């Protein structure tokens, strides 16, 4: 359970930071991730909406980090797993197939892959303890 608390705190910090950057300076975040120098107005809007979603994930994780073993925490773990798998795949495809790559792309892929493994391990551990 201690690892789960650390996972929620780490996710909160990472996603609030990413979310704030996408909401406040989406062009910079898009440039760092994808190397796009001048994103379209549509991309900036979608980036801001995505940033709001990341803020929501971060806040939910922060609020859940002390509720050890609750059903809502277990559901949040599954949501985090799906999000991290999706983010890892989408970003990797952007880099490998679409040749879009900024300085933060591959570190972001690695972080999401690591968070995927951490989420899966916590789901497995929480299921074994149930």
Helix, strand, or coil (residue 115)? helix
Q: What is the pLDDT of residue 83?
A: 98
- Of the pLDDT bands very low, low, confident and very high (cuts 50, 70, 90), residue 123 is very high
At residue 99, what are phi and psi to the nearest 5 degrees?
55, 35
Mean pLDDT in residue range 36-51: 97
- Which 8-state DSSP code applies to residue 66? T
pTM: 0.91
Place of tokens 């709001």: 52
What residue ranges do the domains of the chain occupy? Answer: 2-129
User: Each residue of 55-101: pLDDT tens digit?
Assistant: 999 999 999 988 777 788 999 999 999 999 999 999 999 999 999 99
């Amino acid at each position: 359970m201690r690892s789960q608390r650390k996972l929620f705190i780490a996710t909160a910090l990472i996603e609030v930071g990413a979310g704030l950057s996408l909401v406040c300076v989406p062009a910079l975040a898009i440039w760092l991730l994808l190397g796009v120098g001048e994103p379209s107005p549509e991309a900036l809007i979608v980036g801001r909406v995505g940033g709001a979603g990341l803020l929501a994930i971060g806040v939910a994780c922060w609020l859940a980090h002390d509720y050890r073993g609750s059903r809502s925490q277990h559901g949040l773990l599954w949501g985090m797993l799906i999000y991290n798998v999706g983010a890892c795949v989408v970003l990797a495809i952007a880099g490998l197939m679409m040749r879009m790559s900024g300085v933060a792309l591959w570190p972001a892929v690695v972080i999401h892959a690591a968070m995927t493994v951490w989420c899966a391990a916590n789901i497995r551990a929480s299921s074994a303890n149930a």
